[in-house]
Amino acid sequence: MTHYSNPVLDADWPDPDAVRVGDDYWLIASSFNRAPGLPVLHSRDLVSWEHVANALPALPPAGHYALPRHGSGVWAPSLRHHDGLFWIVYPDPDHGIFVLTAADPRGPWSEPWCLLPGKGLIDPCPLWGDDGRAYLVHGWAKSRAGVKNRLTVVEVDPGLRRPVGPARTVIDGDELAGFRTLEGPKLYQRDGWYWIFAPAGGVSTGWQTAFRSRSVWGPYEHRVVLAQGDTPVNGPHQGAWVDTPDGDDWFLHFQDRDAFGRVVHLQPMTWDDGGWPVLGDGGSPVLTHPTPVEGAEPGEPVRSDDFAVPGLAHRWHWQANPADGWAVADGGGTLRLPAQPSPRGNLRDQGAVLCQQLPGQPSTWETRVDLTGDAPGTRAGVVVLGREYAWAGLVRTPVGVEMTVRRGGTYGDEETVAQEPVPAGATGVVVRAAVDAEGLVTWAWRADTAGADAGWHEPAPPWRAVVGHWIGAEVGLFASAPVGADLRPDDGGTFGPVRVTVAGKEA
């Protein structure tokens, strides 16, 4: 009997939702300010996943998200299959609740439309009921709406174009002993009951609750169905109930791991004699369990990239809606990033930083970096980006090109931690970021001189990766220059293949 270990997706896939259609499972996650957004993952066994698409090429409104809006954008989305279409309903807490559809989850996806405008409406989930009517449940963000800890249901038309009735609060967490930050609802029907699965108690410290009622409008009774207990899985949070073709039930949820983000766990799910769901091992998360499909081999999405295919792979995303010319990926084995003006020189301000999630296991990222351009201050390198960041790469100085390690924060100027000359005759440098199990990043570099590999230099002490705004830390590539620099179109950075190992294996 084959087993899997949790998390099944050990990287930042926040607020997952999933559906099964036939023998295929599809999963989406929050993407916040990153573009393209709304990643779509595919599996045939719930333990091996492939990143196959991004449903949202750019966030609306386009002009608003032309700049990095850390913590805004796509919050917890839902994914459903109805009437031959896949439906994604996602909230933007500053603009409203949006919908997009596709016949195939791999795309193309429709342009999103706004179902419910407004601030603070979050975590929506639709249900096409057995009564032939459609409903939407959502939560509230106090930072925008002034209220939270409550769940609201509104009837909508079956095409999810408009509300057709008044919104009603169906569960008020303030009326439930010990409840705080009730959010992330998912709405289902089973055996004559309406079910709302929703977490409460906070992302890092909370629990998962199941609510049920004979009417979508309530009243709802509830039970806590998944909590940390004596396991290391803190705050098992919102997710998705899915079934298998054989009728078994499973639950996907996330765990917040700070700089490593919101990683995804898979829990077995059964039902007790009273018709209530039992998640994990009697309500506690399992760490290992037999796979849903015998013989299934757990696996995570690919991270390495040899840039041998034109265009950017699905695994890459920017920090804002991309502009034409941010990347040149012609399939020749390298990626070129033209230098982008950086008003403050702070990489958190720069949309043109091309990133992936930081894996939850020790990882090593390695790529060759070349820098073109004579303007002092032009730079290119590898960054580990969160609320604070550090990068290693090349910078043009008045006297030449130097290898640099710098650190930056949410505000203010960068701090130079190390700066070393690149040997004369070097045709480029190879930069390596090694991240350990605690999130400590050790930078190293070596010169590529006349085709011979020089020894590795570790120019700076280890630095601890820092969580982002609602997301984990990311690993990225960038090229930038001071505002007003005299740049040519080919000035910037060129990156060789990106090689990533996770827990000692190439990923």
Residues 231 and 159 in one domain: yes
Residues 199 and 282 in one domain: yes
Q: How confident is the model at residue 139 (pLDDT cuts 50, 70, 90)?
A: very high
455 part of a folded domain:
yes
Given the residues 10, 12, 15, 388, select the one marked as catalytic.
15
Check residue 450 and give its pLDDT.
53
183 counts as catalytic: yes
Tokens describing residue 438: 């605690």
296 part of a folded domain:
no
Check residue 449 and give its pLDDT.
66
Name the nearest CA neighbour of 241 among 218, 225, 220.
Answer: 225
Distance in angstroms (rounded) separating the CA atoms of residues 415 and 391: 11
Q: How confident is the model at residue 338 (pLDDT cuts 50, 70, 90)?
A: very high
Q: Is 240:221 a contact under the CB 8 Å cutoff?
A: no
Q: Residue 100: pLDDT above 70?
A: yes
Residues 278 and 358 in one domain: no
Q: Is 441:435 a contact under the CB 8 Å cutoff?
A: yes
Q: Residue 364: pLDDT above 80?
A: yes
Tens digits of residue pLDDT in 148-175: 999 999 999 999 999 999 999 999 999 9
Check residue 423 and give its pLDDT.
84
Tens digits of residue pLDDT in 246-303: 999 999 999 999 999 999 999 999 999 999 999 999 999 999 999 999 999 999 999 9
The residue with greater pLDDT, 409 or 30, is 30
123 counts as catalytic: no
Residues 127 and 276 in one domain: yes
3-state secondary structure of 452: strand
Given the residues 12, 183, 366, 491, select the one marked as catalytic.
183
Which CATH number does the domain housing residue 396 bear? 2.60.120.200
Q: Residue 123: pLDDT above 70?
A: yes
Among 256, 290, 324, the domain-final residue is: 290
284 part of a folded domain:
yes
Q: Residue 451: pLDDT above 60?
A: no
Name the nearest CA neighbour of 237 among 272, 261, 271, 213.
Answer: 261
Please count the structural domains in the chain.
2
Distance in angstroms (rounded) separating the CA atoms of residues 388 and 189: 44
Residues 192 and 270 in one domain: yes
Q: Residue 425: pLDDT above 80?
A: no
